[in-house]
Amino acid sequence: MSTPLPVKNGLEAIENDPKLKEAWSKVLEVEQQLESIEEQMLEESAKLAAKYEKIKAPVYEKRKEVITSIPKFWATALSNHPILGSLLEEDDLEVLNHLVDITIEREEESANSHKLIMTFSENPFFTNTQLIKEFTVDKDSAQVKNHPIEWKEGKNLTHNGDSELDSFFNWFNEEGAELGELIANELYPNAFSYYQGGDSDEEDMGEMESEDDEDDEQNDEKPPQKKQKV
Amino acid sequence: MSTPLPVKNGLEAIENDPKLKEAWSKVLEVEQQLESIEEQMLEESAKLAAKYEKIKAPVYEKRKEVITSIPKFWATALSNHPILGSLLEEDDLEVLNHLVDITIEREEESANSHKLIMTFSENPFFTNTQLIKEFTVDKDSAQVKNHPIEWKEGKNLTHNGDSELDSFFNWFNEEGAELGELIANELYPNAFSYYQGGDSDEEDMGEMESEDDEDDEQNDEKPPQKKQKV
């Protein structure tokens, strides 16, 4: 294997040649057509995703009932997620043992905008019964709305008066949306697998891999397989 | 930030508790429902992708005409792809200067199965006018079919009689499908961007990122932005 070649901008060759410049204007035309088809496809894909979120909603409702009967379900699932789990301090886990439900409320027709609602049983840490974070995404912009955590006296895990402390719950003060994406798109749909430890039981995909599988491999953060074996 | 917690299998808690075992059987039921919805969605997504590949086909035909008028288009685009480019030896590039067309022929109704056809002008290296590799993917299996390269006397870049040599063209003897995926799903649809050097011109996505964007970041192999600026 060679070392990577230096990146070369093909346009430099084109700019010095009037004929090629003319060809390039056709290139841009074709490219615009492809982009507009791509946009249509993304729109239709988003609608498809929204349609299936609607279909899944009642099943998630059923799942919610089942999950509440399993102690520490969400704390276990969260701590088994490779990224989310690595952010949990011991104190965080104590709080998360009171996490009885996660709900993702999706905006109509937009699978990307969502409200994350984490419901807690009464606990020694904060008075909120729900911690909420809202994500509104449209084509050009994204907004995050935080709802403050009402920490009980001396129980603030994110700040000790002088300085910020390491805690998963800092995320409820921050603008970042990444963890919200992980929760909504990985943890939530694959909750049972993560609860089981996110085993790496391999599905036989043959030698060929989908684009997504390749991404996963490169990420080294492969979501667990869905197959359940009990 | 703490060190990652040890992975804990929630099932261990369940196995020792008959009540939880009963709850878990309901879990599996719900999980099966979610999986079957997911399968339906994947099927519909595949159809959508196939539909748009059909819509894009005539535009790609137009693109082909334009591209043939731009010298070394595919060699430039290929060498600018972060992974594909890193596999190219100097001799490979000499061959690729004769690459005048890449065509991806997709199977009806299956966006994943495809035939990769690389068309070459007459060249000192091999007698083939086309190098072809076929990928057939269905739900459970994947097959790769190679068509041999007819190297001219003393011009085989993949083997010198005694041992295998480093060359991009080895891939035409191998079973692996990864490079085919990169060519079909990254290089081919974004050829113009790669030709231009794969600039990292940032689209303003705001603070929120889609799942795909996160994958890209983690890959560190971000495909170039599509926007053309000339």
Q: Which residues of A touch B19 (CB under 8 A)?
A: 69
Residue B6: inside a domain: no
If asked whether residues A188 and A76 sit together in one domain, one would say yes
Show the CA angle centred on residue B211, arms to residues B206 and B217, nearest 5°: 75
Tell me if A70 and B23 make a contact (CB, 8 A cut-off): yes
The total number of structural domains in chain A stands at 2
Q: Which domain holds residue B182?
A: 71-196
Q: Please, are residues B67 and A35 in contact by the beta-carbon 8 Å criterion?
A: no
> A35 pLDDT band (50/70/90 cuts)?
very high
Tell me if A178 and B20 make a contact (CB, 8 A cut-off): no
Number of Cβ pairs < 8 A linking chain A and chain B? 253
Instruction: Tell me the average confidence (pLDDT) per consecutive run of 10 residues in chain B, 230 residues long.
Output: 54 81 89 94 91 92 91 94 93 95 82 88 96 85 90 93 91 87 92 79 34 40 42
If asked whether residues B172 and B105 sit together in one domain, one would say yes
If asked whether residues A25 and A134 sit together in one domain, one would say no
Q: Choose the most confident range, by mean pLDDT, from A192-201, A218-227, B10-19, B93-102.
A: B93-102
If asked whether residues B56 and B102 sit together in one domain, one would say no
| Nearest Cβ partner for B37 among A59, A215, A221 | A59
If asked whether residues A30 and A97 sit together in one domain, one would say no
Residue A162: inside a domain: yes
If asked whether residues B61 and B138 sit together in one domain, one would say no
Nearest Cα residue to A178 out of A54, A186, A94 = A186
Q: Among all chains, which residue has been given the structure tokens 């053309």?
A: B228
Dist. CA B56–CA B25, nearest whole Å: 46
Question: CATH number of the domain that A181 lies in?
Answer: 3.30.1120.90
How many residues are present in chain A? 230
Q: Which residues of A touch B168 (CB under 8 A)?
A: none
If asked whether residues B163 and B184 sit together in one domain, one would say yes
Residue B182: inside a domain: yes
pTM: 0.67
Dist. CA B64–CA B60, nearest whole Å: 6
Global ipTM = 0.71
If asked whether residues B55 and B152 sit together in one domain, one would say no
Residue A204: inside a domain: no
